[in-house]
Structure 1
Amino acid sequence: MIGDPRLGAGLLLAALLLGVDAVRADTYRWVDDQGVTHYSDQVPPDQAKQRRFKLSPQARELAVIEAAKSAEELQRERQLQLLRSQQEKLLAEQRAQDLALLRSYRSEDEMRRTLDGKLATLDTLIKVAEANRERQQAALASQERQAADLERAGQPVSSELRELMAATRRQVAELDEKVRHFQAEKTALRERFARDMARYRALSGAQASPSPSRMMVTGDAEHGAGEPISAIACAVGPVCDQAWALAKAYLLQHAAPTLALETARILQTPPPANDQEFEVTVTRIGSGQAEDILFLDLRCRPSPAGEALCASPRARSLRGGFKGFIEAGLAASGRDAPPARQGR
């Protein structure tokens, strides 16, 4: 029926609904490889690789959608995530050891008394082993004289006496080894307590600082995605030991004049005191094979200024120079290390 008010109302409602849908439709802006800017509510598949912006109805930027990553970029991201997870595991273990150290002792004097007690126990064990060895040596000397007397008299040395001398010699050798073991244990104990005391002193005098897990980490997809990862693989043994010494030298020359932490697996500069400083960590990650991986990473204060610092040319230069510094040092000494392989 012409002029039916119900039909007019239905058409008006449909038009309004279509208008609402049009307003609510997402609009994107991106620039293609030729530098042409596009606006559309749909991104063609061949343009999905481009970084794009989601726009409001007033053409304001609502969100940034990163460009699709290449296979190489995804592989690098996986490798970096794995190295960081392994590094964080080492750091978490160290934090647990630090906590146990602080809970175990109330002062350095208490640590020294504990060390003296353990050394005294080992000295007692050494004296007992040495006394037993002297007795066995005296018994062996008597047995050997008895065997010599028999031989001079033209009599055969019995198999029982020969077996007894062999058993006594084994006992003397075992007691020799026991004394050496206790002496080596004393040396290792002194070295361990020296490290623990130095760490206890550092922890006791340290100021409160952000937990490493709360600090922003560099090298995300937005900053430095195309840069090589600061990691180098080295053969376990003298080569990797020298590479580890070179890693320490690199930190002291290029990151900080002193280290806040130095263990067999972790080298770390002091935590940042402000937004213009970062913490540098190198970890020696065991691969479970015949090589280790030395991995350097940075942490900054969780603030806009700290984020800018971790994305700065200064930070990129520090990360980028690590591998070359170690390779040059190994080459100068006549040693070499294979490059860190991808996909770890």
Structure 2
Amino acid sequence: MYRWVDENGNVYFSDQVPPDQVQHKRETLTEKARIVETVEKAKTAEELAQQKRLDALRKEQEKIVAKQAANDKVLLSTFRSLDDMEKALGNKLASFDAKRKVIEGNIERLQSQLLKQEQQAAEHERNGQKVPGKLLDEIAATKQQIGQSNQELADHHSERQNTEKAFRADMARFQFLTQANADAKAANSSLAASNAGNELGLFVCQDAEQCQKAWKLAGEFVAANSSTGPDVETEKLIMRAAPQQDDDLSLSASLLEQGKVRQIFLDIRCRQSSLGNELCNSAKVKSLRQSFAPYLQSGLAAQQ
């Protein structure tokens, strides 16, 4: 026996589905009215287009998730403890500091050299002599070298800061991974697909500055609407732990960059079960996805 509901809300029961009714969602029932199979309604052209875009976004997100998993593997195979990481960071920073001293020494040497060259030029002028062209060229070359060395020092300082920031982020991630419980394996499961007809949870940034602010708001949205604990939080991926219960919702946000276009994509995972799939196909999840971009827009407007 089949059961379906038409576009007017009328419920039908029959042992056959008429050809003009096959586009509706239908359920196959046993003699005791137990549902044994569900066939979703036929998708519209708009829904098919949304599904295609959603699949493309998920592929981009899966790349980020895969990259994170690979980084985690390298991290755990490289270090045994936080103490090891502290020592490694200390060695890196010491190397940076040693190079900084070399650059600063070169700048001091060049400044001393420039001072002597300028004194020679001044001596010629006091004696009413024309400053030799060779000396002028040497002064110009020394000034250029000092400028290049100062830029090298600034670049070196920036590189040191970025290296320390990235290393400390790795330390925080290592601490999380080593303290994770047995459910960590489940947390790396693939993203579950939600209803193809849902609106895309996608926010397009106007510029890098707006995207930075929106990314923080996206993290707040993910935390507030997920029923599972934190898992991954990087500059391009915020993902909550995998759902364990049928009523769990696990949200994730990913920052996708294609050329100069920056987008923040929301995805929602449910447990891989009949009830979990039903939840991901529910109006609740659809509404949650639809509210993502307005939430970011409202938060950005409040900050202006």
Q: What TM-score do you get using the length of structure 2 for normalisation?
A: 0.86
Corresponding residue to 1:301 among 247, 260, 271: 271
More moved, 294-303 vs 208-217: 208-217
What residue identity is the alignment partner of 1:315? V
Amino acid at match of 1:96: A
2:192 paired with 1:217: yes
Q: Could you say which structure has the larger radius of gyration?
A: 1
Q: Residue 169 of structure 2 aligns to which amino acid in structure 1?
A: R
Q: Which residue number corresponds to residue 239 of structure 1?
A: 210
1:284 equivalent to 2:259? Answer no
1:239 CA drift (Å): 0.8
The alpha-carbon deviation at position 164 of structure 1 amounts to 0.5
Inter-partner Cα distance in structure 1 for 2:123 and 2:84: 59
Distance (Å, rounded) in 1 between the aligned partners of 2:282 and 2:24: 24
Q: Work out which of the residue numbers 118, 122, 127 in structure 2 matches 1:144.
A: 118
**Cα distance, 1:131 vs structure 2:** 1.2
Q: Is the 8 A contact 2:187 2:241 kept in 1?
A: no
Q: Look up the match of 2:95.
A: 121
> Residues 60 and 271 of structure 1: is their aligned pair in 2 closer, same or farther, counting only changes over 3 Å?
closer
Q: 3-state SS of the aligned residue for 2:218?
A: helix
| Percent of residue pairs identical | 35
> In the alignment, does 2:184 pair up with 1:197?
no
Query: Can you give the 5+ residue segments of structure 1 that lack an aligned partner in the other structure?
Result: 1-26, 335-344
Alignment of 1:168-207 (within 5 A): 168-207=142-181
1:286 CA displacement = 1.1
1:154 aligns with 2:123: no
For residues 60 and 250 of structure 1, what CA distance do their matches in structure 2 show?
38
Whether contact under 8 Å (1:215, 1:299) holds in the other structure is no
1:328 aligns with 2:298: yes
SS in 2 for 1:301: coil
For 2:236 and 2:21, locate their aligned partners in 1 and report how far apart those are by CA, in whole Å.
45
Aligned to 2:222: 251
The CA deviation at 1:262 is: 1.5
The code of the aligned residue for 1:233 comes to: V
Greater mean deviation of Cα atoms: 264-273 or 139-148: 264-273
- CA shift at 1:41, angstroms? 7.1
How big is each residue's C-alpha offset from its partner over 1:170-223, in whole Å with a ceiling of 9 and x where there is no partner? 1111221222222222211221111010000000011233545645624224xx
Tell me if structure 2 keeps the 8 A contact 1:214–1:302. no
- Return 184-193 or 203-212, whichever deviates more: 203-212
Cα drift, residue 145 of structure 1: 0.6
Shift of 1:84: 1.2
Quote the residue 1:268 is aligned against.
Answer: 239
**TM superposition shift of 1:256:** 5.8
Unaligned runs of 5+ in 2: none
Give the aligned partner of residue 315 of structure 1.
285
CA RMSD in angstroms, aligned pairs only: 3.0
What SS class does the counterpart of residue 205 from structure 2 fall into? strand
Distance 1:182 1:144, change over 3 A: same
Hey, what does 1:342 align to over in structure 2? none
